[in-house]
Structure 1
Amino acid sequence: MRPTRTHRLLLGGTLDLALLGILAVLTVLIGLNSRNPLSLVVDLAACVAAALTLRWPRVAGAALGVVLTTYLVAPYDFTEMGDYAALIVVLGTGIRSQRRTRAMLTAGYLTILVIRQFQLYQTGVQPFLSSLAWAALFAVMWLIGSAIAAFDKAQEQARLAALAQQRLVLARELHDTVARSLARVSRQIHQAAASGDPTQLRSVADQVSETAGQLRWMLGALRDSDSEAELLTGAQSSLAGTVRDSVAHLQSHGFQVSTSIDGSLDAVPPEPGRVLGEIVQEATANVERHGATDRPCVLTVCIDDTAVDLAFINEVRESGSPDGSARPLGLLGAAERLALVGGQLEARQEGTHWITRVMIPIAGRT
Structure 2
Amino acid sequence: MSVSVSSPLLKRLPPGLWTAGAWLAAAVYPLVEYVVLPHGPEYSLSYPEDGLDASLPKALLALAFALALTGSALLRRAPSPAYALVLAGTVVSTAAWRQDEIPPLQFLATGAVLAYVAAVRSRRASLTAATGTLAVLACYYLLRPLLGDDSGVAPEPFLALTAALAWLIGHTVHQARAHREELYARAAVQAVTAERLRIAREMHDTVAHSIGIIALQAGAAARVVGSRPDSAREAMLVVEQAGRETLAGLRRTLGALRQDDGEQADREGVFGSQERGRGTYEERVSAPGAASPRPDAAPPPSRPAPGLADVPGLAATAEAAGVRVDVSWHGTPRRLPTDIDLAAFRIVQESVTNVVRHAGVAACRVRLDHREDALAIEVADRGRGGAGATSGGTGAGTGEGYGLLGMGERVALLHGTFTAGPRPGGGFRVAAVLPLPAPAVAAAR
In structure 2, the CA distance between the partners of 1:118 and 1:194, relative to structure 1 (3 Å rule), is farther
- State whether structure 2 residue 289 is matched by structure 1 residue 289: no
Instruction: Note the 1:345-360 alignment, pairs <5 A.
Output: 345-350=419-424, 353-360=427-434
In structure 2, the CA distance between the partners of 1:250 and 1:179, relative to structure 1 (3 Å rule), is closer
Q: 1:18 aligns with which of 2, 14, 18?
A: 14
Instruction: Give the secondary-structure state (helix, strand or coil) at the position aligned to 2:416.
Output: coil
- State whether structure 2 residue 77 is matched by structure 1 residue 46: no
Distance 1:32 1:22 in 2: 15
Q: Could you say which residue in structure 1 is the equivalent of 2:365?
A: 298
1:192-231 CA distances to partner (integer Å, 9 max, x unpaired)? 322324744454344334433433443343345679x99x
Q: Could you say which residue in structure 2 is the equivalent of 1:140?
A: 169
Q: 2:389 aligns with which of 304, 316, 326?
A: 326
Instruction: Note the 1:34-73 alignment, pairs <5 A.
Output: 36-47=61-72, 50-53=75-78, 61=80, 64-65=83-84, 68-69=87-88, 71-73=90-92
Whether the aligned pair in 2 keeps the contact of 1:49 and 1:63 (CA below 8 Å) is: yes
Q: 1:214 aligns with which of 231, 246, 249?
A: 249
Instruction: Output the amino acid matched with 2:334.
Output: D
Instruction: Note the 1:224-235 alignment, pairs <5 A.
Output: 224=259, 235=304
Higher RCO, Cα 8 Å, sep 6+: 1
Distance 2:360 2:341 in 1: 28
Q: Could you say which residue in structure 2 is the equivalent of 1:87?
A: 115
In structure 2, the CA distance between the partners of 1:110 and 1:87, relative to structure 1 (3 Å rule), is farther
Distance 1:134 1:118 in 2: 18
Q: Could you say which residue in structure 2 is the equivalent of 1:102?
A: 126
1:11-62 CA distances to partner (integer Å, 9 max, x unpaired)? xxxx799323654688789999977432332023323554444xxxxxx736
TM-score, L = length of structure 1: 0.72
Q: Could you say which residue in structure 2 is the equivalent of 1:311?
A: 378
Whether the aligned pair in 1 keeps the contact of 2:324 and 2:363 (CA below 8 Å) is: yes
In structure 2, the CA distance between the partners of 1:215 and 1:303, relative to structure 1 (3 Å rule), is closer
- State whether structure 2 residue 333 is matched by structure 1 residue 244: no
Whether the aligned pair in 2 keeps the contact of 1:262 and 1:301 (CA below 8 Å) is: yes
Whether the aligned pair in 2 keeps the contact of 1:118 and 1:127 (CA below 8 Å) is: no
Distance 2:177 2:372 in 1: 46
In structure 2, the CA distance between the partners of 1:285 and 1:41, relative to structure 1 (3 Å rule), is same
Distance 2:223 2:141 in 1: 96
Instruction: Output the amino acid matched with 2:316.
Output: A
Listed as ranges, the gaps of 5+ residues in structure 2 are 1-10, 32-57, 266-302, 395-401, 441-445
How far has the Cα of 1:112 moved from its partner? 3.4
Whether the aligned pair in 1 keeps the contact of 2:420 and 2:430 (CA below 8 Å) is: yes
How far has the Cα of 1:167 moved from its partner? 1.7
How far has the Cα of 1:102 moved from its partner? 3.0
Q: Could you say which residue in structure 2 is the equivalent of 1:255?
A: 323
Rg comparison, structure with higher value: 2
Distance 1:209 1:244 in 2: 18
Q: Could you say which residue in structure 2 is the equivalent of 1:335?
A: 408
Instruction: Give the secondary-structure state (helix, strand or coil) at the position aligned to 2:429.
Output: strand
Identical aligned residues as a percent: 23
Q: Could you say which residue in structure 2 is the equivalent of 1:11?
A: none
1:312-356 CA distances to partner (integer Å, 9 max, x unpaired)? 22243xxxx455423512112112222331312233245553322
Distance 2:242 2:314 in 1: 16
Q: Could you say which residue in structure 2 is the equivalent of 1:193?
A: 222
Aligned residue pair count: 332
1:235-268 CA distances to partner (integer Å, 9 max, x unpaired)? 43343x1333323333344433333222023265
Instruction: Give the secondary-structure state (helix, strand or coil) at the position aligned to 1:265.
Output: coil
Listed as ranges, the gaps of 5+ residues in structure 1 are 1-14, 54-59
Distance 1:292 1:216 in 2: 32
Instruction: Output the amino acid matched with 1:305.
Output: E
Distance 2:20 2:91 in 1: 21
RMSD: 4.1
Whether the aligned pair in 2 keeps the contact of 1:46 and 1:64 (CA below 8 Å) is: yes
